[in-house]
Structure 1
Amino acid sequence: MKKTLICSLVFFIFFMWSLNAQVSASEEYIVEKNDTLWDISSRKLDDYFLWPKLWNVNPHIENPDLIYPGTKIFIPSREELMHIPALPTREIPAARKQKIKKSESKSVWKYAPVMEKKHIIDKSLFIASGWIADTYPSIGEILSSPTNQQMTSKNDIVYIKLPESLSPEDPALILSGNEDPVSKKRFFVIRDIKIVKHPVSGKKIGHQIRIAGILEVIGMDENLIKAKITDSFEDVRIGDGLLPYQELEAPLIPETVRTPNNQGYIIESHMNSFLVSKGNVVFLDKGENDGLKVGDVFTVLREQPAESPIGKIQIVSLQPSTSGAVILQNFQELKIGSKWGQP
C-alpha cells in the first residue's frame, strides 16, 4: 500500500512538471531593433518557415515587413504553432479561447472570428513589377497629351492609338466593360524596358516588360481617342505601349510552403538595380516549365569563398521559362547574377 502511494505521488509530480513545462514553452517577446518575424521564428522556433503562422497569431501586426522595437508578440510553442493553420478561415474553438482568457499572462494573442488572408506582396508592386516576355506584346500606343507633356501621371489626359478592331476571340485581348468597342475600355500602360540577357551564360532571355499605369478610354477628341490615366506606378510616357486590362490579384501566402530542389540565378530586378534587398522584386531564370509554383521559397546563396545563405526569396509570378520573386530577407545586398536554390 505504501509503495503504491509513493508511485502515485511520483507520477503526480511528474505530470504537474510536464504541464508546467508545456505552459512555459509559450512566451511573450518584445521586438528589438532590426528584428524580423523571419529571424524571430528562426531563433525561437528553430524554423524560418513558421513566420506566416507566427504572424497570424499576432493579428495586431498589420504588415509582417514592418515590426517595430517595443512591440509585444506572442510566441506559442513550436508544437502548438504547427497545429495552427497558416490561413485560418474559421472561428477558433470556444475551449481554446477560454484557455487563453484564463491565463494569468497579459498576452496579446487575441483571435478574430475570421482572420484576413494575407498576401505575399503588395498588389501595386505585384502589378507594376511586370514580367519577362519572348516578344513585346503591345497592341497600341500613347501618342500625345493635350498639354504636350512627355511624361504624365494619374488623372492626366492622353491621346492613344489602338488597332482598328479588337477581337474578343483573341485570348490576349481581354477587355473590361460591355459597351461599345472603345468607350470605357481600360488598358495597362506597358513599357519595353530592355532585352534581358543571362548574367552567367550571356544567352538572350527576352523583353523585360513593366506596367507603368492603367488608363481608361473616355471618348473622342475629333479623330483622336482620348483616355484618362486612372493609376500610375511610375511616370507614364509618350510612346508607351498598351495592353488590354485584366484584373490581377497579388498571390496569397500559401498554407504550406514548398521548398523544391530547383536552382538557378537572379537575372534582373524590377527597377534594374544591380544591388537589391528586402522587398524588391527580382526575376529568375526558371519558370512554370521547370516545375516552379507561386509561393515557392528559395535561398539565395553566396558562392565565394564558400557557398552560404545570404537571403530568401518567394515566387510571386510565373512565365513558362522565367519567374518573378520578392526578396523576403537578405543578410547582405543581393545582386544580379546571385545563385539561388536550397542550401
Structure 2
Amino acid sequence: MFRNIITLLMFCCLSFNLNAQVIALKEDHPDRHVVVKGDTLWWISARFLKDPWLWPQVWQLNRAQIKNPHLIYPGDVIVLDQSSGTPQLKLLRPTITLEPGVIVEPVDQAAISTIPINAIAPFLSQPLVIEKDQLAESPRIIAGPDNRVVLSTGTRVYINKIEENKDLNWFIYRPGDSMVDPDSKEVLGVEATYLGDLRVKKYGKPATAEVTKAKEEIFVKDRLVPSGDEISVNFTPHAPDTQIKGRVLKIYGGLAETGPGSIISISRGSKDGVEVGQVLAISRYGRIIKDPEPTKEAKEEAKKADAKPKLKELNFDISTGEDGKAIVNFGKDKKEATSTEPALEPGYIKLPDERVGLIMVFRVFDRVAYGLVMQASDPINTLDSVHNP
C-alpha cells in the first residue's frame, strides 16, 4: 500500500524592509493565519500590519521584480516570527512527494488576489473616459431589423463601416457626463456610458453584427469601441513616487457617500503621475469658515478688500505689446493660477483636511483614474481630497 508522505515544508522567509519605511504591527495581531478561499493579500496583511498596503515592503517585493504578486494559496500558513528581534513573516507551504504509481488530486489551487477582483471587474474594461468628441469618428449603429428603435440582446444590427482587419468583438457606448476638475473647472474627459457588447458577423460598408449583451437600451447612433486585450489584474500596492493631490469626482452605484469596497473616480491620471497599484489617502476637504473672532489686522484687511475692484479676482493684468496694442494677460501669477488651494478672503479660515480612508488605484486614464476604497473611518464623499498616504 502506497502512502502519501509529506517530506518537506517550504519556508519562504520574508523580512521587513525597515530602512525604507517604519512598519508597525497591529496590537492585536495573530501569531499565524491559515489562508482560506476568499482571502486577499490586503486583508491578510491587515491582520498583521497597521498599514496593510505596505506588504510588498514587508515581503521585499517591488514592482520591477514582481510580475505576478499572486504568491499565496489557500491552505498556506503565514507565521509571524519575532525570535530574531526583527519581525519576519514566514510562509509555510507543504509539498508532497509520492511513491511511484500513486495518483492523487493536485494540491494547487487558484492563488489569492491582492484585492477583491469581483468588486472591480465591471470597471476593468467597460467604463471608458475619453476626450471630448473622441467617439465622433468611431463606428456607429445605423439601423436595426425592421426599423426597430430599441435594440436588445440577439438583435441583428448594421454598422456604418468596419473593415476586414478590425476587431471581431466591440463594446457599445454612448457619450455621457463630462468629468470636471472641481478646482480648475477644466474638463478632464467624458465618461462614456457602457451599453452592451456586439460581435461582427460580416465586415464591410455597411457591416452586419449581433448584439450579444445589452446592459441598457441600445439605439441607432450609439458608438462602438474595440473590446481590446484583457487588462491585467496583478496589483502590487505602493505609494506614489511623486506628489499627487486631487479630488474625488464621482461615487459609483448611485450613492451620495460611500465606504470600503466601493468604486470612485479621482481627478488625476497618468499625466499627473498616477499609476495602477498606487495607494492614496482620502481626506475630508476642510470647510472654509468666517473667523468668529477676527483680529484687528484681519478686519482692516477685509475693509481694504471690500474697497478694491472685484475684477482683481479674475487674476489678469494688462500690458502693451510691441505694436502698441493692449494685451490682456490671464493668470500672470503662475503659482496662484495653478494652485488647488482656494485664495482666502481676509477674515476667512480653511479648516484642515481630515483623513478618512485609503483607496487603491486599479485603472488609469490620461487625466482621470478609478480606485477601490480599501479603508474608511468615516463616509467618503465627492469632492473629498485625494493625496499621498
Give TM-score, length-normalised by structure 2.
0.55
Shift of 1:227: 1.4
Identity across the alignment (%): 20
In structure 1, distance between residues paired with 2:213 and 2:259: 26
SS in 1 for 2:177: strand
Shift of 1:299: 1.2
Name 2:224's counterpart in structure 1. Answer: 242
In structure 2, distance between residues paired with 1:97 and 1:159: 57
Shift of 1:265: 0.9
Name 1:104's counterpart in structure 2. Answer: none
SS in 2 for 1:124: helix
Q: Residues 1-343 of structure 1: matches in 2 within 5 Å?
A: 26-28=31-33, 41-42=45-46, 44-49=48-53, 57=72, 59=74, 76-77=79-80, 79-81=87-89, 97=94, 113=108, 116=111, 118=113, 120=115, 121=117, 122-138=120-136, 139-146=138-145, 150-162=149-161, 166=163, 175-176=166-167, 185-219=168-202, 225-254=207-236, 257-260=238-241, 261-269=243-251, 274-304=256-286, 306-343=352-389
Could you tell me which amino acid in structure 1 is paired with residue 158 of structure 2?
Answer: Y
Inter-CA distance 217–319: structure 2 relative to 1 (3 Å threshold) = same
In structure 1, distance between residues paired with 2:252 and 2:203: 35
Inter-CA distance 253–322: structure 2 relative to 1 (3 Å threshold) = same
CA offsets per residue over residues 204-240 of structure 1, 9 Å max, x none? 222112333221122499x964311223444434432
More displaced stretch, 194-203 vs 290-299:
194-203
More displaced stretch, 290-299 vs 121-130:
121-130
CA offsets per residue over residues 56-87 of structure 1, 9 Å max, x none? 65627xxxxxxxxxxxx965317443x65xxx
CA offsets per residue over residues 116-157 of structure 1, 9 Å max, x none? 373654443311222243442351222343265544444333
CA offsets per residue over residues 88-122 of structure 1, 9 Å max, x none? xxxx7xxx538xxxxxxxxxxxx954753736544
In structure 1, distance between residues paired with 2:206 and 2:376: 49
- Which structure: greater helix fraction? 1
Inter-CA distance 220–209: structure 2 relative to 1 (3 Å threshold) = closer
In structure 1, distance between residues paired with 2:148 and 2:252: 25
In structure 2, distance between residues paired with 1:333 and 1:147: 50
Partners of 2:276 and 2:362 within 8 A in 1: yes
In structure 1, distance between residues paired with 2:177 and 2:256: 14
Shift of 1:342: 2.6
Inter-CA distance 271–161: structure 2 relative to 1 (3 Å threshold) = farther
In structure 2, distance between residues paired with 1:147 and 1:329: 52
Partners of 2:35 and 2:73 within 8 A in 1: no
Could you tell me which amino acid in structure 2 is paired with residue 142 of structure 1?
Answer: I
Inter-CA distance 155–273: structure 2 relative to 1 (3 Å threshold) = farther
Q: RMSD between aligned alpha carbons?
A: 4.2
Name 2:315's counterpart in structure 1. Answer: none
Larger Rg over CA atoms: 2
Could you tell me which amino acid in structure 2 is paired with residue 59 of structure 1?
Answer: P
In structure 2, distance between residues paired with 1:134 and 1:187: 20
SS in 2 for 1:125: helix
Inter-CA distance 264–112: structure 2 relative to 1 (3 Å threshold) = farther
Give TM-score, length-normalised by structure 1.
0.61
Could you tell me which amino acid in structure 2 is paired with residue 246 of structure 1?
Answer: G
Structure 2 gap segments, 5+ residues each: 1-28, 60-68, 82-86, 96-105, 287-350
Shift of 1:264: 1.0
